[in-house]
Amino acid sequence: MTDHLTIVTHPLVQHKLTLMRDKNTSTGEFRALLREISALLAYEVTRELELTTRAIETPMQEMDAPVLKGKKLALISILRAGNGLLDGVLELIPSARVGFVGLYRDEATLKPVQYYCKLPEGLEDRLVIVVDPMLATGNSSAAAVDLLKAAGATSIRFMCLLAAPEGVARMKEAHPDVPIVTAALDKRLNDKGYILPGLGDAGDRMFGTK
Ligand code: URA
Protein backbone atom coordinates (compact mmCIF):
# COMPACT_ATOMS: atom_id res chain seq x y z
CA MET A 1 0.00 0.00 0.00
CA THR A 2 1.71 3.19 -1.13
CA ASP A 3 -0.90 5.92 -0.54
CA HIS A 4 -1.02 7.37 2.96
CA LEU A 5 -4.80 7.78 2.76
CA THR A 6 -7.24 5.51 0.92
CA ILE A 7 -10.92 6.50 0.83
CA VAL A 8 -13.17 3.56 0.04
CA THR A 9 -15.72 5.07 -2.33
CA HIS A 10 -17.57 1.81 -3.03
CA PRO A 11 -21.34 2.53 -3.26
CA LEU A 12 -22.22 -0.07 -0.60
CA VAL A 13 -19.78 1.53 1.86
CA GLN A 14 -21.07 5.04 1.12
CA HIS A 15 -24.72 3.99 1.45
CA LYS A 16 -24.15 2.23 4.78
CA LEU A 17 -22.14 5.17 6.06
CA THR A 18 -25.01 7.57 5.31
CA LEU A 19 -27.37 5.34 7.30
CA MET A 20 -24.89 5.37 10.18
CA ARG A 21 -24.56 9.15 10.14
CA ASP A 22 -28.33 9.64 10.38
CA LYS A 23 -29.18 10.50 13.97
CA ASN A 24 -32.46 8.57 13.66
CA THR A 25 -30.64 5.26 13.12
CA SER A 26 -31.11 3.03 16.17
CA THR A 27 -28.30 1.52 18.25
CA GLY A 28 -29.05 -1.97 16.89
CA GLU A 29 -29.02 -0.82 13.29
CA PHE A 30 -25.88 1.24 13.86
CA ARG A 31 -24.05 -1.79 15.27
CA ALA A 32 -25.17 -4.06 12.42
CA LEU A 33 -24.10 -1.49 9.83
CA LEU A 34 -20.73 -1.05 11.52
CA ARG A 35 -20.15 -4.80 11.34
CA GLU A 36 -21.02 -4.88 7.63
CA ILE A 37 -18.99 -1.81 6.71
CA SER A 38 -15.96 -3.07 8.67
CA ALA A 39 -15.88 -6.24 6.56
CA LEU A 40 -15.91 -4.08 3.42
CA LEU A 41 -13.10 -1.88 4.77
CA ALA A 42 -11.14 -5.00 5.73
CA TYR A 43 -11.36 -6.11 2.12
CA GLU A 44 -9.51 -2.91 1.14
CA VAL A 45 -6.99 -2.94 4.00
CA THR A 46 -5.94 -6.51 3.12
CA ARG A 47 -5.82 -5.89 -0.62
CA GLU A 48 -2.06 -6.30 -0.81
CA LEU A 49 -1.67 -9.45 1.24
CA GLU A 50 0.90 -11.59 -0.50
CA LEU A 51 -0.14 -14.66 -2.44
CA THR A 52 1.68 -17.83 -3.36
CA THR A 53 0.38 -20.82 -5.31
CA ARG A 54 -0.65 -24.33 -4.39
CA ALA A 55 -0.96 -27.25 -6.76
CA ILE A 56 -4.58 -28.50 -6.75
CA GLU A 57 -6.78 -30.56 -9.03
CA THR A 58 -10.08 -29.14 -10.19
CA PRO A 59 -12.59 -31.69 -11.54
CA MET A 60 -11.17 -30.74 -14.97
CA GLN A 61 -7.40 -30.61 -14.58
CA GLU A 62 -4.41 -29.74 -12.39
CA MET A 63 -3.55 -26.13 -11.73
CA ASP A 64 -1.33 -23.93 -9.58
CA ALA A 65 -3.93 -21.86 -7.74
CA PRO A 66 -3.40 -18.71 -5.64
CA VAL A 67 -3.52 -18.97 -1.85
CA LEU A 68 -2.51 -16.52 0.86
CA LYS A 69 1.20 -16.72 1.63
CA GLY A 70 0.25 -16.89 5.27
CA LYS A 71 1.64 -13.73 6.81
CA LYS A 72 0.20 -13.62 10.29
CA LEU A 73 -2.16 -10.83 11.21
CA ALA A 74 -2.96 -8.93 14.35
CA LEU A 75 -5.98 -6.70 14.84
CA ILE A 76 -5.59 -4.05 17.47
CA SER A 77 -8.71 -2.35 18.77
CA ILE A 78 -8.45 1.08 20.35
CA LEU A 79 -10.94 0.90 23.22
CA ARG A 80 -13.79 1.17 23.36
CA ALA A 81 -15.16 2.14 19.94
CA GLY A 82 -12.59 0.04 18.07
CA ASN A 83 -14.39 -3.08 19.31
CA GLY A 84 -17.28 -2.29 16.97
CA LEU A 85 -14.99 -2.92 13.98
CA LEU A 86 -13.58 -6.24 15.18
CA ASP A 87 -16.34 -8.70 14.28
CA GLY A 88 -16.64 -7.65 10.66
CA VAL A 89 -12.89 -7.93 10.13
CA LEU A 90 -12.73 -11.28 11.95
CA GLU A 91 -15.40 -12.65 9.62
CA LEU A 92 -12.93 -12.19 6.76
CA ILE A 93 -9.80 -13.12 8.72
CA PRO A 94 -10.94 -15.55 11.43
CA SER A 95 -7.41 -16.60 12.41
CA ALA A 96 -6.16 -13.08 13.22
CA ARG A 97 -4.92 -12.46 16.75
CA VAL A 98 -6.58 -9.59 18.57
CA GLY A 99 -5.10 -7.00 20.92
CA PHE A 100 -6.55 -4.07 22.85
CA VAL A 101 -5.18 -0.65 23.69
CA GLY A 102 -6.98 1.65 26.13
CA LEU A 103 -6.07 5.34 26.22
CA TYR A 104 -7.76 8.28 27.90
CA ARG A 105 -7.05 11.98 27.56
CA ASP A 106 -5.49 13.71 30.54
CA GLU A 107 -7.57 16.88 30.77
CA ALA A 108 -4.64 18.87 32.21
CA THR A 109 -2.01 17.96 29.64
CA LEU A 110 -4.45 16.92 26.86
CA LYS A 111 -2.04 14.02 26.20
CA PRO A 112 -3.26 10.41 25.83
CA VAL A 113 -2.54 8.21 28.86
CA GLN A 114 -2.51 4.43 28.57
CA TYR A 115 -4.80 2.55 30.98
CA TYR A 116 -4.88 -0.87 29.29
CA CYS A 117 -2.71 -2.80 26.88
CA LYS A 118 -2.90 -6.45 25.93
CA LEU A 119 -1.11 -7.37 22.71
CA PRO A 120 -0.56 -10.65 20.83
CA GLU A 121 2.97 -12.03 20.76
CA GLY A 122 5.25 -11.78 17.74
CA LEU A 123 4.03 -8.39 16.47
CA GLU A 124 7.29 -8.03 14.54
CA ASP A 125 6.22 -10.87 12.20
CA ARG A 126 2.63 -9.76 11.73
CA LEU A 127 0.68 -7.37 9.59
CA VAL A 128 -0.87 -5.20 12.28
CA ILE A 129 -4.25 -3.57 11.56
CA VAL A 130 -5.26 -0.93 14.07
CA VAL A 131 -9.02 -0.32 14.20
CA ASP A 132 -10.81 2.75 15.55
CA PRO A 133 -13.94 4.14 13.87
CA MET A 134 -13.09 7.84 14.30
CA LEU A 135 -9.74 9.40 13.38
CA ALA A 136 -10.38 12.81 14.99
CA THR A 137 -7.38 14.69 16.48
CA GLY A 138 -5.18 11.67 15.75
CA ASN A 139 -3.54 11.96 19.19
CA SER A 140 -4.73 8.62 20.55
CA SER A 141 -4.16 6.89 17.20
CA ALA A 142 -0.60 8.21 17.02
CA ALA A 143 0.00 7.17 20.65
CA ALA A 144 -1.40 3.68 19.98
CA VAL A 145 0.91 3.28 16.99
CA ASP A 146 3.86 4.51 19.11
CA LEU A 147 3.07 1.77 21.58
CA LEU A 148 2.79 -0.90 18.86
CA LYS A 149 6.10 0.12 17.31
CA ALA A 150 7.72 -0.01 20.75
CA ALA A 151 6.33 -3.55 21.05
CA GLY A 152 8.06 -4.51 17.78
CA ALA A 153 5.45 -3.93 15.06
CA THR A 154 6.95 -2.82 11.75
CA SER A 155 4.08 -3.33 9.32
CA ILE A 156 1.05 -1.36 10.47
CA ARG A 157 -2.17 -0.15 8.82
CA PHE A 158 -4.88 2.03 10.34
CA MET A 159 -8.54 1.36 9.52
CA CYS A 160 -11.32 3.78 10.43
CA LEU A 161 -14.79 4.75 9.36
CA LEU A 162 -14.40 8.52 9.34
CA ALA A 163 -11.29 10.68 9.30
CA ALA A 164 -10.86 14.41 9.95
CA PRO A 165 -8.14 16.29 8.02
CA GLU A 166 -6.54 17.18 11.38
CA GLY A 167 -6.22 13.49 12.33
CA VAL A 168 -4.84 12.49 8.95
CA ALA A 169 -2.23 15.27 9.17
CA ARG A 170 -1.27 14.26 12.72
CA MET A 171 -0.82 10.62 11.66
CA LYS A 172 1.13 11.59 8.56
CA GLU A 173 3.49 13.66 10.66
CA ALA A 174 3.92 11.04 13.42
CA HIS A 175 3.70 7.85 11.35
CA PRO A 176 4.13 8.44 7.60
CA ASP A 177 4.75 4.70 7.20
CA VAL A 178 1.24 3.77 8.40
CA PRO A 179 -1.35 3.81 5.59
CA ILE A 180 -4.89 4.83 6.57
CA VAL A 181 -8.03 3.28 5.08
CA THR A 182 -11.30 5.12 5.71
CA ALA A 183 -14.83 5.36 4.31
CA ALA A 184 -14.79 9.19 4.26
CA LEU A 185 -12.66 12.24 4.88
CA ASP A 186 -14.93 14.75 6.62
CA LYS A 187 -14.64 18.55 6.82
CA ARG A 188 -13.11 19.38 10.19
CA LEU A 189 -13.22 19.03 13.98
CA ASN A 190 -15.40 21.17 16.22
CA ASP A 191 -13.92 22.82 19.34
CA LYS A 192 -14.60 19.66 21.37
CA GLY A 193 -12.69 17.45 18.95
CA TYR A 194 -15.78 15.92 17.30
CA ILE A 195 -15.79 15.30 13.57
CA LEU A 196 -18.11 17.45 11.40
CA PRO A 197 -20.42 16.46 9.85
CA GLY A 198 -19.44 13.14 11.43
CA LEU A 199 -21.84 10.77 13.15
CA GLY A 200 -21.54 11.83 16.79
CA ASP A 201 -19.86 9.76 19.46
CA ALA A 202 -19.25 6.37 17.85
CA GLY A 203 -18.95 4.56 21.19
CA ASP A 204 -22.21 6.00 22.50
CA ARG A 205 -24.01 5.24 19.26
CA MET A 206 -22.86 1.61 19.10
CA PHE A 207 -23.32 0.82 22.79
CA GLY A 208 -26.40 2.99 23.47
CA THR A 209 -24.67 5.08 26.17
CA LYS A 210 -24.64 8.85 26.58
N1 URA B 1 -14.79 10.26 18.60
C2 URA B 1 -16.09 10.07 18.27
O3 URA B 1 -16.71 9.10 18.70
N4 URA B 1 -16.67 10.96 17.45
C5 URA B 1 -16.04 12.02 16.95
O6 URA B 1 -16.64 12.79 16.18
C7 URA B 1 -14.69 12.21 17.31
C8 URA B 1 -14.09 11.32 18.13
DSSP labels for 45-62?
HTTT--EEEEEEE-SS-E
pLDDT band at 108 (very low <50, low <70, confident <90, very high): confident
Q: Is 74 exposed, middle or buried (0-12, 13-18, 19+ CB in 10 A)?
A: buried
> Residue 109: is its pLDDT beyond 90?
no
User: Which pLDDT tens digit goes with each residue over 42-62?
Assistant: 999 999 899 999 999 999 999
CA angle 67, 73, 74 (to 5 degrees): 165
* Ligand 1 pocket check for 17: Cβ under 6 Å: no
pTM, full prediction: 0.94
List the residue whose alpha carbon is closest to atom 4 of ligand 1: 201
The pLDDT value recorded for residue 1 is 66
Start-to-end CA distance of the chain, whole Å, equals 37
Q: What is the mean pLDDT of residues 121-139?
A: 96
> Residue 106: is its pLDDT beyond 90?
no
Q: What is the mean pLDDT of residues 103-110?
A: 78
Round the average pLDDT of the chain to a whole number and report it: 95
CATH numbers and ranges of domains, the chain: 5-48+77-207 (3.40.50.2020)
What is the Cα–Cα distance from 4 to 175, expressed in whole angstroms? 10
Q: Cα 86 to chain center, whole Å?
A: 9
Looking at the annotation, which residues are catalytic?
Answer: 105, 109, 201, 204
Give the ligand 1 atom nearest the CA of 194: 6
- Is the separation of the CB atoms in 194 and 18 below 8 Å? no
